[in-house]
């Protein structure tokens, strides 16, 4: 009997979202659409400008391009399906699409955690060891650090996805969420999920708490180094190079930790869904704005690319 019930899930799931509040669906549709459109525009601009302008061929913009590409893929894996479902009466998703959503969102979210820690190390090297910066952050080192981030992210996603999807499920195939996410899928299991919850919590500590701890350590060294700078202009410049990254870290880790470092049984029906929407769409929309709004280097690079001639 259990096998038959499990097999029915291969036909797909129903993503409940906020189907019980149709008026809220249209508001969320508008918010998600705006965030997704701005995400596409902002992150694509960063990638193109960083690629085309030689002045931005530096470690900082290499990692920023990685982050922008990651955010593009992250929101694209979830956004289109969600926008379509806001207009559907039957908010279905195929089993294959659910697996893809779960795997990609987990992989890219985990990768971003490590990548943000790598970017903090890059800022540490730039501020604390400016004379040796090009040696410490050589192109080969940057590539290896980026590759490690991606490999670790996708590796943990394989484990989490397989463990979640192998659970026996029974009852209605209704996922109380906007998309397929581990805590929501665990609620469909009709067996004890203690092991899955323990693995999820451990992974959350490894990919959230540890990178955040390394970021805090990096910025403590940066703060000490900045205090030794006698020039007010030098301190201002050092702070400016780190401020954008600190804002992105605060937004991403704050919401992700709140969402994942809690027991699934305490996973509030509405709170968890809204927090997921925030770090999936709002944070990824704000990232390019934070990095470019007051960044004169990017402004100049954008003008050079648009004018199609290098500035002396």
CATH number of the domain bearing residue 256: 1.20.1070.10
- The confidence score (pLDDT) of residue 5 equals 46
Could you tell me if residue 124 is inside a domain?
A: yes
| Residue whose pair of structure tokens reads 């690319």 in the numeric block | 305
- The confidence score (pLDDT) of residue 262 equals 65
* Tally of domains within the chain: 1
Rounded CA-CA distance 264/188 in Å is 12
Q: CA distances (Å), 108 to each of 74, 133, 143, in order?
A: 6, 28, 17
- The confidence score (pLDDT) of residue 4 equals 45
Rounded CA-CA distance 260/204 in Å is 6
How confident is the prediction along the chain (312 residues), in pLDDT tens digits per residue? 344 444 445 567 888 877 677 778 888 899 999 999 999 999 998 898 888 888 888 898 899 999 999 999 999 999 888 888 888 777 888 888 888 999 999 999 999 999 999 999 999 998 888 889 989 999 999 999 999 999 999 999 999 999 998 888 876 788 888 888 888 888 888 888 889 888 888 998 999 999 999 999 999 998 888 888 777 777 777 777 788 888 889 888 888 887 777 655 555 566 777 888 888 888 888 888 888 766 777 777 777 777 765 544
Could you tell me if residue 66 is inside a domain?
A: yes
Could you tell me if residue 169 is inside a domain?
A: yes
Its domain, for residue 154, covers 2-307
Rounded CA-CA distance 81/60 in Å is 33
- The confidence score (pLDDT) of residue 116 equals 94
Could you tell me if residue 312 is inside a domain?
A: no
* pTM of the entire predicted model: 0.87
Tell me, rounded to whole angstroms, the distance of Cα 229 from its chain centroid: 34
Could you tell me if residue 69 is inside a domain?
A: yes
């Amino acid at each position: 009997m259990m096998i038959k019930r499990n097999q029915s899930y291969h036909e797909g799931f129903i993503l409940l979202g906020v189907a019980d509040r149709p008026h809220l669906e249209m508001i969320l549709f508008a918010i998600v659409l705006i965030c997704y459109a701005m995400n596409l525009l902002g992150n694509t601009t960063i990638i193109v400008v960083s690629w085309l302008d030689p002045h931005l061929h530096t470690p900082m913009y290499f990692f920023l391009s990685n982050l922008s590409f990651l955010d593009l893929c992250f929101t694209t894996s979830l956004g289109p399906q969600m926008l379509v479902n806001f207009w559907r009466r039957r908010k279905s998703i195929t089993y294959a699409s659910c697996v893809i959503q779960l795997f990609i969102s987990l992989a890219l979210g985990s990768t971003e955690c490590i990548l943000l820690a790598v970017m903090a190390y890059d800022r540490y090297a730039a501020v604390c060891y400016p004379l040796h910066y090009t040696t410490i952050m050589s192109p080969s080192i940057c590539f290896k650090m980026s590759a490690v981030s991606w490999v670790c992210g996708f590796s943990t996603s394989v484990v989490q996805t397989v463990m979640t999807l192998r659970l026996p499920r029974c009852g209605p195939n209704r996922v109380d969420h906007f998309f397929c996410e581990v805590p929501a899928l665990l609620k469909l299991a009709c067996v004890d999920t203690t092991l899955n919850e323990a693995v999820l919590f451990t992974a959350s500590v490894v990919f959230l708490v540890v990178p955040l701890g390394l970021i805090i350590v990096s910025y403590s060294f940066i703060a000490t180094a900045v205090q030794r700078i006698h020039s007010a202009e030098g301190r201002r410049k050092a702070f400016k190079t780190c401020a954008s990254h600190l804002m992105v870290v605060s937004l991403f880790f704050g919401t992700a930790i709140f969402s994942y470092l809690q027991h699934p049984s305490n996973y509030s029906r509405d709170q968890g869904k809204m927090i997921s929407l925030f770090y999936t769409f709002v944070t990824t929309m704000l990232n390019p704005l934070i990095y470019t709004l007051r960044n004169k280097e990017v402004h100049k690079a954008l003008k050079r690319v648009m004018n199609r001639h290098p500035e002396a």
